Structure 1
Amino acid sequence: MVEMGISALNLIKVLASSLCNLLLVLLLTVQGPAEAAFSASLGIITPWLDIIVSAVHIAVSFILLNNALSALLNRTFFIVYLVSMGYEHVNNALLFREMAGLMLSLPLIVIVKHVTGLPSTALEFKRLVKSRVGFKVGANELFVLLIPHIGGVISVLATSFSAYSTDIYVIVVNNALVPVILLFMVMLVSEELSGTADRAIMGFTSGLGVLGLAPLISLMAMERTSGALYPSRALYASKRGLYLGKAVATLTYGYPSNAYRKLRKSARFSGEGRRAWYWRAVQHSLYVDLNELNTPHIIVIGSSGSGKTTLVKHIVLESSRVYGHNVLIIDQHGEYKDLASFIKCKIIDASRCSLNPLVLANTSPRERALQLAHAVSVTFRLGLLQRKMLEEVIMKTYELKGITSGDPATWRRDPPTLQDLVGVCKELGKEIPEYNRLLPYIVLLSEHISGGEWLSVEELLLESAIIDMTGLSSDFARALFLDTLMYTLINKMYTTRLTKKVMLVIEEARGLLPRSLARELLSRLFAESRKFGFSIVVVSQEIRRIPKVLVDNAGLRVFFVLNEPRSVEEASKIIAGLDVKEKSLVVAEAIRTLAPHTFMIHATGVDAIFVVKSPFLTRSKSA
């Protein structure tokens, strides 16, 4: 995997920079004729070559630590160590040499950066200090830290005996006090390190004291920020964007090591004793930056009881807290009303609201007549002839209000109501009795979504709200209400100027909307909403019930446990791709065996794939 290779490379670079510092100190502090001749052969005692050594040291540190500031800090700590040990003295010659070396290193850094394309992101040590930390270091982790730490202490202590300084306090500070302080810092973040190698290198680097301080800060920052563990956009191991939970495994290619054991053996890896796809155990937080996704839309798929609703609630709260989004939740089962105790939002009883499905906005009367007739005919299983008759009733109703398909200027006029539709149907029924067969359906439509206070969709988009649909009396009432609401939302996106971005949550209940109608409405929402400041979360038990265009274009895909074979197969192909069969098989096996409140996550265009433990709602998340 890409992220594993770069993570290992970062560790190697940090270790190399620490060893480089130690080696250079050994060369500068050696004693005796042979050693002095060796030093002289390197030109270290020559003033001009001293400047070159300083510049090269800074440039090499830049290559190894990927950051100019880190390189400068590294050189500064290096000189501090030499001065404290008595090998160097603070004077004009030292200052001139270091300033000249710094000036000479700048073009070297520019050349190196141009040739290699190394990043120059500033270290986020301030973020590290402010992060929540705690002493949760187990015995094994402490052992892995201490042994390399002692090795680092002994290595740098050996150089002290060859230096000119014999002051005991200098020895104590450089080789006891500073390493102990650095070990304390490492223990604070040890719980979030991703593996044994990370802890071992941190232990050794902290043991070097001042010589390892800059590499140590660099490694700690890389472990806590986006670039080192998973150098991809959107998904981060540090506090950036929405907190998704605790990553416990990542899909990796290589010789299986440290495999995640809370999956069936067949789900852990695709082969033993050879390079294979497997789930490597990790332990760190996982965040997603919605602004860096291909699209800000999210799909959440999983069997009943797997934890979908809990995660979606958490995403809603995080979106409100981190980005200040308004939220609009279409709550079909009354599962989201408790969010009102966490964030400021209205709870709207859909059974006491009225919607007018005859509002046009940017749609022609003919197009809306076709859409509404289709929704009603599919819901009530009307025949083709009755559907055509219903279209004519709707068109006649528009015409009585002076609204015609041929004149777009009339589309802005006040639309007819469902009561008008009932009246037109009755009038037509007097002349043609067949129209009377439509009347019961139109009356039902009028009674179920026009029996209360008018629901202002514009106001819904300007503040957070939960629409509780449990009070609606039947499935067809909920279907027609949802159809009208989604249609109105699509049209209001064009005319409403949002003060905040909106996160819209839609739970695609099985059988509630006709499949063709649901696909059409959801596809339009996904396609048109992003440019108007909407982020849409679609929740479903089956991936096959979500239009393929939504699955393909969702920025973030979340999968809880799935049992239906075709859903598992389709989900594994989406996550793993079609190129590597073994990879797809490992993903499929994992999806079948995920524990409750544990999910697999994949961001479009990002290689990293994780298994994550879902967070639970707590009062601390209250806005």
Structure 2
Amino acid sequence: MMDRIIRSLMEKKVLLLAGDIIPVISPLSVLAPREESTGFHLGIDERGRDIFLNPEKLPNMHGVILGTSGSGKSTLARHLILEARESGVKTWVIDPHGEEAYARLFTRRLIITSDRIDLLTATGWDLLEYAGELGRYVELIYGLRGARNVIREIIAECLREQSLEPFKKLANGDPDLERLFDDISRLHGNDYRITELAEQDVYFTLPLMASRELVAFATQVLLLLLHGYMRARGARQRLEMVVVLEEAHVHSPYLLSLFKEVRKWGYGVIAISQLPREFDPRVFQLAGFVIILAGPESYVRDVESLFSLTADERDHVLFSTRGAALFYRQGDPRPRKVFLKLRQAALA
């Protein structure tokens, strides 16, 4: 039987789309993954079939959106926010740039430093664990090499006393610690706690003149507080919250750590960036999904250095108009070529 099939195929020119048929020759051929019919609607493929993103069905709920300036990254993120809300999913946006197109989707808008958050009540974290995580990322963000343990101990003492006074005393006379203390003092306050914010749709931004370090530190603390809170509620397979993180390449070390987690805590971070090479490549391997938007040749070359694109896939994001994308799902080596169909309310 198999001999007849093979002879028949060899006698004819047969054009097959790998992954769209059940292979009859090699058991190593790639089977088409099961297409989702629920979740967040992204658009259609080249055959006009609807394409959905369902984070609940992926190994983890986190993902990455890549695209150059003006390619529609934020527009797609706004579309996903609207799709999530329709499913009863809460949403956060952490946006250093203060885009009005994001802000108008939210009634609760916080300007960090003006609206202060309690950094010393870390629900779901062991005191030393939380202090250690903050020490780790402070060292990276502020370039304080070798200071991790010192900072961890200072923060741990602040957590014990529920006050920044221990930090203030120890920082006196040390310019690096004084700078860090000034930034923490600008962020910390009793206006909001994570237990309140995690139950709401919230748009976070920062003052336009905020330093790069302050922006990165404020974002990192928010992510840690949220992770502790969601973790304290226990593992959850259902998606209950989506966080859109702009300028996400700045937080590549944290994203790598987050994406490595096997358990699902009921929330997903969607990392937005125009600089794919600024990420640790393992972030893309571990992400539940990656969406690559169309862009110019230099950007596509950067993408090709991280993903194995076929000529057809390369052309799709190089020569197509705005709205073309490649959609990867973890466990599926073949991206789907998508033409995005976005909600009108998501358009700027």
- Structure 1 length normalisation: TM-score? 0.45
CA displacement 1:126-165 (0-9 Å, x = unmatched): xxxxxxxxxxxxxxxxxxxxxxxxxxxxxxxxxxxxxxxx
CA displacement 1:159-200 (0-9 Å, x = unmatched): xxxxxxxxxxxxxxxxxxxxxxxxxxxxxxxxxxxxxxxxxx
- CA contact under 8 A between 1:393 and 1:424: conserved in structure 2? no
- CA contact under 8 A between 1:302 and 1:541: conserved in structure 2? yes
| Cα distance in 2 between the residues matched to 1:5 and 1:378 | 48
Rg: which structure is higher? Answer: 1
Residue 395 of structure 1 aligns to which amino acid in structure 2?
E
Alignment correspondent of 2:3 = none
| Cα distance in 2 between the residues matched to 1:3 and 1:439 | 56
Residue 474 to residue 317, structure 1, CA distance change in 2 (3 Å): same
CA displacement 1:3-30 (0-9 Å, x = unmatched): 5436xx9xxxxxxxxxxxxxxxxxxxxx
| Cα distance in 1 between the residues matched to 2:160 and 2:118 | 11
CA RMSD in angstroms comes to 3.5
1:614 to 2:340 alignment: yes
CA displacement 1:68-96 (0-9 Å, x = unmatched): xxxxxxxxxxxxxxxxxxxxxxxxxxxxx
Residue 598 to residue 307, structure 1, CA distance change in 2 (3 Å): same
Q: Secondary structure at the match of 2:98?
A: coil
Aligned match for 1:444, one of 174, 177, 182: 182
1:585 to 2:320 alignment: no
Alignment correspondent of 2:41 = 243
Residue 302 of structure 2 aligns to which amino acid in structure 1?
S
Alignment correspondent of 1:303 = 68
Paired residues for 1:257-268 under 5 Å: none
| Cα distance in 2 between the residues matched to 1:596 and 1:620 | 15
- CA drift of 1:359 comes to 5.1
Between structures 1 and 2, the one with greater strand share:
2
- CA contact under 8 A between 2:43 and 2:340: conserved in structure 1? yes
Alignment correspondent of 1:289 = 54
- CA contact under 8 A between 1:329 and 1:506: conserved in structure 2? yes
Paired residues for 1:155-166 under 5 Å: none
- CA contact under 8 A between 1:356 and 1:484: conserved in structure 2? no
CA displacement 1:24-82 (0-9 Å, x = unmatched): xxxxxxxxxxxxxxxxxxxxxxxxxxxxxxxxxxxxxxxxxxxxxxxxxxxxxxxxxxx
- CA contact under 8 A between 1:242 and 1:287: conserved in structure 2? yes
| Cα distance in 2 between the residues matched to 1:552 and 1:395 | 34
- CA contact under 8 A between 2:131 and 2:155: conserved in structure 1? no
Q: Secondary structure at the match of 2:327?
A: strand
Alignment correspondent of 1:347 = 109
Would you say how many aligned residue pairs link Structure 1 and Structure 2?
Answer: 318
- CA drift of 1:284 comes to 3.7
Alignment correspondent of 1:395 = 153
- Structure 2 length normalisation: TM-score? 0.76
CA displacement 1:188-220 (0-9 Å, x = unmatched): xxxxxxxxxxxxxxxxxxxxxxxxxxxxxxxxx
| Cα distance in 1 between the residues matched to 2:132 and 2:60 | 30
Alignment correspondent of 2:265 = 532
For structure 1, list consecutive stretches of 5 or more residues without a partner in the other structure: 10-229, 250-281, 402-412, 427-434, 577-583
Paired residues for 1:204-283 under 5 Å: 232-236=33-37, 240-247=38-45, 249=46, 282-283=47-48
Paired residues for 1:87-486 under 5 Å: 232-236=33-37, 240-247=38-45, 249=46, 282-321=47-86, 323-335=87-99, 336-340=102-106, 346-357=108-119, 361-363=124-126, 365=128, 368-382=130-144, 384=146, 387=147, 391-392=149-150, 395=153, 398-399=156-157, 415-426=161-172, 435-450=173-188, 453-470=190-207, 473-486=210-223
- CA drift of 1:418 comes to 2.8
Question: Looking at both structures, which has the greater relative contact order when contacts are Cα pairs under 8 Å and sequence separation is at least 6?
Answer: 2
For structure 2, list consecutive stretches of 5 or more residues without a partner in the other structure: 1-16, 25-30
CA displacement 1:562-618 (0-9 Å, x = unmatched): 433652323441xx5xxxxxxx23323433323222212222334664332222332
- CA drift of 1:320 comes to 1.7
| Cα distance in 1 between the residues matched to 2:333 and 2:153 | 52
Alignment correspondent of 2:13 = none
Q: Secondary structure at the match of 1:320?
A: helix
Alignment correspondent of 1:507 = 246
CA displacement 1:346-374 (0-9 Å, x = unmatched): 22222323345555653453x55554445
- CA contact under 8 A between 2:316 and 2:324: conserved in structure 1? no
CA displacement 1:511-535 (0-9 Å, x = unmatched): xx4xxxx233212332348521112
